[in-house]
A and B are shown apart, each in its own frame.
Chain A
Amino acid sequence: MREAPYLVKMSFHAMGSPCHIQFYVFKSAQEKHAKSVIKQCLSGLEQRYSRYRKDSLISLINQRAGSGKETAIDAEMLGLLNYAEQCYQESDGLFDITSGSLRNLWGVDKQSLPSEQQLANARALIGWQKIERTTSHVYLPIKGMQLDFGGIVKEYAADSIAQLLKNRGIESGIIELGGDIKIIGSQPNGNAWPIAIRNPSNQNNLQLSLHSGSLASSGDYERFQMIDGVRYSHILNPKTGKPTQGLQAVSIISEHCVVSGSLATLAMLKGKQGLAWLKENKLDFFCCEEDGTTHQHLSTYTLI
Chain B
Amino acid sequence: MSLIERLSLAALALPGLLVGGEAQAGRAEELYHADFQYAHYEESKGRMKVDVFELSAVAPIGDKITASVDLVRDTISGASPILNIKNSDGKVEQYLSGASIFEQRDALAVGLSYAFDDVNVSFGGGVSGEHDYLSRHLNTGASWTFNKKLTTLSFTASVAFDEITPTGQSDVKNSKTSQKYLMGITQVINKNSLLQSNMTFAYHKGYLSDPYKAVYVEGVGLEDDSRPRHKFQWAWLTRYVHYFKTLNKAALHADYRLYVDDWGINGHTLELSWHQPIADDWLIIPRFRYYTQNEANFYQATFDAMDIGDIHSSDYRLTGFGTLGVGLKLTKSFHMAGYIKEVKLQMAADYNDRKASYQIGGNDEGSFDDFSFYMITASINMRF
Chain A interface (Cβ < 8 Å from any Cβ of B): 2, 26, 32-33, 36-37, 41, 75-76, 79-80, 82-83, 86-87, 90, 156-157, 159-160, 163-164, 166-169, 254-256, 258-259, 262-263, 281-283
Contact = CB atoms under 8 A, between A and B. Distances in A.
Give the size range of B's interface with the partner: 20 to 34
A185 B16 CA distance: 17
Given A2-B279, A90-B6, A163 B17 contact: yes
Contacts of A164: 16, 22
Nearest to A34: B337
Contacts of B21: 167
B14 interface: yes
Contact of A83 (B3, B11, B336): B11
Contact of B16 (A36, A86, A156): A156
A159 B19 CA distance: 11
A72 to B, nearest CB: 13
A164 B8 CA distance: 18
A81 to B, nearest CB: 11
Main SS at interface, chain A:
helix
B337 A156 contact: no
Given A82-B13, A259-B4, A281-B4, A26 B20 contact: no
Leading 7 A-B pairs by shortest Cβ distance: A160-B16, A86-B10, A79-B14, A33-B337, A281-B3, A259-B7, A256-B11
Contact of A79 (B13, B279, B337): B13
Contacts of A262: 7
A156 B280 contact: no
Contacts of A166: 19
Contacts of A281: 2-4
A163 B17 CA distance: 6
Given A76-B16, A163-B16, A82 B26 contact: no
Contacts, number: 83
A263 B16 contact: no
Given A76-B14, A263-B7, 11 more contacts: A76-B15, A76-B16, A80-B14, A86-B7, A90-B3, A90-B7, A156-B16, A159-B17, A168-B335, A256-B12, A259-B11
Contacts of B150: none
B383 to A, nearest CB: 13
Nearest to B20: A167
9 contacts: A2-B279, A36-B337, A79-B25, A86-B10, A90-B6, A159-B14, A167-B21, A255-B8, A256-B8
Interface in B8-49: 8, 10-22, 24-26
Given A36-B337, A83-B11, A160 B25 contact: no
A202 B336 CA distance: 48
Contacts of B4: 254, 259, 263, 281-283
